[in-house]
Amino acid sequence: MAHYPVLLEEVEQYLEIEPDGIYVDCTLGAAGYAERILGCLTTGRLIAIDRDETAIEAAKEKLERFKDKVTFYHGSFGEIEQAAGPDAQLAGVVADLGFSRTQIEDAGRGFSFQSEGPLDMRFDRRQELTAADIVNHYGETQIADLLYELGGERRSRRVAGAIVRGRPIYDSARLAGIVEKAVPRSPGVKINPATRTFQALRIAVNDELGQLDRLLKGAPPLLRPGGRMVVVSFHSLEDGRVKRAFQQWARSDEYERITRRAVRPSEEEIRQNAASRSAKLRALARTR
């Protein structure tokens, strides 16, 4: 989850922004990266992608002074080939895989277990599947597997059983209460018992890992020689995919991993922005 752009200086460093380059910000959000990139461009341009139409509209206002240099694309970063064009010669691609505080603070979106709202969790409200659909219509085993695989919930079967017994569930606060009753918080543990369940549902609703796989497959071939791809992830499911994909691309002599190890935020950044503490940055370059 990011409110301020995480690892902003490091992202700029690894992108090596060129004034005449074409760049893609795959996760526009609050436009922190986009604003920094656009400020470095002269004849270059930026393609800004986001699944959340509300974020795009807010970013259009924030980036008004750069309107001649930016194109907005309402969709997933898995659609980068459609957004940039199949023959794109990109100087850089950046993706911050966190979700914004604006989304979690909007009770009407259903992302938070700390507020009462509809059990939605869609980044793109044009899609049909919601968290309520999963909670109320998936089988108990299917829910348990989802919670374990996407949320790392070790007591997934107990939680899934409680969810099925508690149906129908259409409110985020009610779901959180059911999970907390099924797996009470252990003494000394700060994390809310519902955290892993809500993470798993969000990832499933938005097909986050599937979209990431499509991005990692589709973006590198769009880079021109010297072009760079920078990805900031926030949990091991994402970072593992990024690491493996970059290793795979680097096995050919067309690509090179710039970061052998993940780049982490400084202690100062973590003090200023606690949401950055789990961030990991990895970068890939096209060599020829």
Give the CA distances from residue 206 to residues 50, 134, 202, 212, 268, in Å, rounded to whole numbers and listed in that order. 12, 12, 6, 11, 32
Whole-number pLDDT of residue 107: 58
For 51-181, where are the E strands, in sequence order?
70-74, 90-96
Average pLDDT over residues 134-143: 98
Q: What is the pLDDT of residues 201-246, one digit of tens each?
A: 999 999 999 999 999 999 999 999 999 999 999 999 999 999 999 9
Could you tell me the two tokens for 211?
A: 């979209």
Integer Cα distance of 102 and 119 in angstroms? 17
* Angle subtended by helix axes 172-182 and 195-205, to nearest 10: 130
Residues 6+ apart with CB under 8 A from 248: none
pLDDT, mean over the chain: 93
The first and second tokens of residue 256, run together, are 């090179």
Smallest Cα–Cα separation from 46: which of 215, 213, 32? 32
Which pLDDT does position 184 carry in this prediction? 86
Percentage of the chain exceeding pLDDT 70 = 95
Contact between 67 and 56 under an 8 Å Cβ cutoff? The reply is no
For 124-134, the pLDDT digits (tens) are: 999 999 999 99
Mean pLDDT of 102-127: 79
Tell me how far CA of residue 153 lies from CA of 145, 150, 183, 235, 254, in angstroms. Answer: 9, 8, 10, 14, 39
Structural domains of the chain in order of their starting residue, each with its CATH number: 8-101+208-286 (3.40.50.150), 125-205 (1.10.150.170)
The confidence score (pLDDT) of residue 2 equals 45
> Is the pLDDT confidence value at 159 over 90?
yes
Q: How confident is the model at residue 108 (pLDDT cuts 50, 70, 90)?
A: low
